[in-house]
Amino acid sequence: MTNITIDKLEFEPFIDYSQIKKRIRLMGIDMSVKYADKNPVFIGVLNGCFMFMADLMKQIPIPCELSFVKLASYYGTQQEQIKELLGVGMDLTGRDVIVVEDIIDSGNSLRYTIDALERLHVNSIAVCTLLMKPLCLKHNFDNIMYVGFEIENEFVVGYGLDYNGQCRNLPDIYKNVGE
């Protein structure tokens, strides 16, 4: 892995795909045991989760369903607002749901997603994220059950994570050299 440059920002290798695959395999085993008889619904938060969700689902041999939501953040008068763009498209009443995120930093999008799911009267909500920035969280969560890697407040790209729409396709994760 070599450094990459995007719009004059330099990124260096941070987490390689082999490490990512190992962590996903372990999370998949744990989920498959815990949810073996529950037919869970995996809900991926687009766009960033697409690579992680695809690899994760390959490690889940139990009966399950999957869907996606797409959220957009924008800044209103004084705080970040979340607007749902694309809904789940299935009845989740009484279902065990696993929300799949690429990264959790402030937790604003996750809070919105969990609140929306609770209004749909799901049985349970667990969260699975590839990356989490614990020092950036603005909310308390007791349902983040699966974390691939905890990272500092670093600007990262690759493996679904982008900068100005670029680098989602890279198999490895890179961090900004200036961070």
Residue 100 belongs to domain with CATH number: 3.40.50.2020
- The whole-model pTM stands at 0.91
Angle, helices 50-57 vs 17-34, to 10°: value is: 60
Report yes or no on 77 lying in a domain.
no
Catalytic site residue from 105, 142, 162, 172: 105
Residue spans of the chain under pLDDT 50: 76-77, 85
For residue 30, indicate whether it is catalytic: no
Report yes or no on 82 lying in a domain.
no
Report yes or no on 2 lying in a domain.
no
DSSP secondary structure letter of residue 137: -
Report yes or no on 23 lying in a domain.
yes
Predicted pLDDT of residue 149:
98
Predicted pLDDT of residue 85:
46
Count of C-beta atoms within a 10 Å radius of residue 64: 17
| Overall number of domains in the chain | 1
Residue 115's φ and ψ, nearest 5 degrees, are: -60, -40
Report yes or no on 33 lying in a domain.
no
Cα distances from 171 to residues 1, 13, 38, 113, 163, in angstroms, run 10, 11, 31, 27, 15
Predicted pLDDT of residue 109:
87
For 43-75, write each residue's pLDDT tens digit: 999 889 999 999 999 999 999 999 998 876 555
Give me the domain span that covers residue 54.
Answer: 10-28+41-68+93-176
Report yes or no on 117 lying in a domain.
yes
Determine contact, residues 108/75, Cβ cutoff 8 Å: no
Predicted pLDDT of residue 87:
73
Report yes or no on 34 lying in a domain.
no
Predicted pLDDT of residue 9:
93
Q: What angle do CA 13, 26, 106 make, to 5 degrees?
A: 60
Q: What angle do CA 93, 97, 98 make, to 5 degrees?
A: 170
Q: What angle do CA 119, 98, 142 make, to 5 degrees?
A: 75
Predicted pLDDT of residue 74:
53
